Amino acid sequence: MEPLNFSFDVSCPQERAFDLWANRIDTWWPTDHTVSGSKDVKVVLESGVGGRIYERTPEGEEHDWGEITAWEPPRQLSYLWHIGSDRSDATSVTVRFLSKGPSDTTVQIEHDGWERLGARAVERRNRNSDGWQSLVTYYQAATSSITNMTEGKQ
């Protein structure tokens, strides 16, 4: 089954684009893309290979989402992804940050591994396709906010 592929540009340097995704994911990840749906959920992406990706509710309950498999700042990060499902159903996500100059970056997302899901593959791939398309808008808005703050345009 074909991987999902998304590519889009953001108006911020490669280092900032990577940092926002990898180290400040909690500042832009929407609560409707979490397991608990809790308003005050904290999303955590631990840096480095083997780092966990999870959410923590205000009550301290944690829901595992994935595990970092490649950590190459500021160019790429990859992870196993199993939000809302068992780790044995993990798919693979790679996010690449390609510099287009001092203040522009192309972000490429590849999400694959659907064949591991057997009969559920098509439904999960379609659901993730919709999820990525809406998620990207939150990330793009966050990169715009960073650019505006950096340039004093708040």
Residue 78 is classified by DSSP as: E
Q: Which of 29, 24, 3 is nearest to 134 (CA)?
A: 29
Tens of pLDDT, residues 132-151: 999 999 999 999 876 544 44
CA angle 122, 116, 76 (to 5 degrees): 95
- Identify any residues that bridge with 103 across adjacent strands, giving them in sequence order: none
Tens of pLDDT, residues 1-24: 999 999 999 999 999 999 999 999
Tens of pLDDT, residues 20-67: 999 999 999 999 899 999 889 999 999 999 999 999 999 999 999 999
81: amino acid identity, one letter = W
Fold classified for 4-149 = Alpha-D-Glucose-1,6-Bisphosphate; Chain A, domain 4 (3.30.530)
Contacts of 117 (CB under 8 A, 6+ apart): 89, 91, 124
Contacts of 106 (CB under 8 A, 6+ apart): 7, 8, 9, 97, 98, 100
Mean pLDDT of 74-89: 94
Every domain of the chain and the residues it spans: 4-149
